[in-house]
Amino acid sequence: MSFLGLSSNKPKTSKKPLHASTLQKQYLQKEYAEQTLGSGNLRLAVHLPEGEDLNEWLAVNTVDFFNQINMLYGTITEFCTPLDCPVMSAGSKYEYHWKDDVHFKKPARVSAPVYVDHLMSWVQSQLDNEAIFPSKLGNEFPTDFKTVVKDIFRRLFRVYAHIYATHFAAIVSLGEEAHLNTSFKHFILFVKEFNLIDPKELAPLADLIESLLAQAKN
């Protein structure tokens, strides 16, 4: 069954990776994040907490952003259909083709809901892979872990870009624009903090990003 099956609009959430020291620190991390987010200080919320392992911080936040984006997209699936969105795009200038080197060895032009379904299933497979996101005590992160995280964030950004470019009116009608904006602002600040996405990939939402980063400085 696909993660966001086209026959079902109910998004699921991913388990959190529980690496050795994360088992001990996860509650404190969550409390730290909630405190800083609650105060509106998103810049502080993305900083690596003192004494925390970078890979563990990246892992926990990768899962959290995946869940956030999955839930946000899940609210507008009735508006994002193969008929309404025959291609995965972020406006007229940006179109995304799916490639996963397994089922799609060459970039394929698919509808937005099919693209997002493949994307979410692919991310879930990464998170469930013990060799990449270890959950057992004593298991270490791979040496190329940040490269994997970068690939996940690059693709997750495309879901935000599609929502903003194509479905923002639906988001407003549902009263979710504040939630979307806060989630995306948090995402971008995290991306900038750890240099996770090439600036060229962020071009579809460059103006919005500039505005959000300017707000974050105030």
- Contacts by 116-122, CB closer than 8 A, 24 or more apart: 116/4, 116/73, 116/80, 116/88, 116/159, 116/162, 117/2, 117/3, 117/4, 117/5, 117/6, 119/155, 119/156, 119/158, 119/159, 120/3, 120/4, 120/11, 120/66, 120/70, 121/2, 121/3, 121/4, 122/155
Q: Find all residues with CB under 8 Å of 142, minimum gap 6, and list them.
A: 131, 132, 148
- For 168-190, write each residue's pLDDT tens digit: 999 999 999 999 999 999 999 99
Structural domain boundaries in the chain: 20-217
- For 105-154, write each residue's pLDDT tens digit: 899 999 999 999 999 999 999 999 999 999 876 679 999 999 999 999 99
Average pLDDT score over residue span 10-33: 46
Q: Is the pTM of this model over 0.85?
A: no
pLDDT band at 3 (very low <50, low <70, confident <90, very high): very low
- Could you tell me where the DSSP H helices lie in 110-144? 112-127
Residue corresponding to tokens 């270490």: 140
The answer on pLDDT for 5 being more than 80 is no
186: annotated binding-site residue?
Answer: no
CA dist 102 → 4, 174, 194 (Å): 19, 37, 29
85: annotated binding-site residue?
Answer: yes
pLDDT, mean over the chain: 83
Higher pLDDT, 61 or 5: 61
- Asked whether the beta carbons of 145 and 53 are under 8 A apart, the reply is no
Predicted pLDDT at 102: 81
47: annotated binding-site residue?
Answer: no
Predicted pLDDT at 18: 44
pLDDT band at 103 (very low <50, low <70, confident <90, very high): confident
167: annotated binding-site residue?
Answer: yes
**Multiple choice CATH, 20-217, 1.20.140.30, 3.30.450.40, 3.40.1350.10, 1.20.1090.10:** 1.20.140.30
The answer on pLDDT for 63 being more than 50 is yes
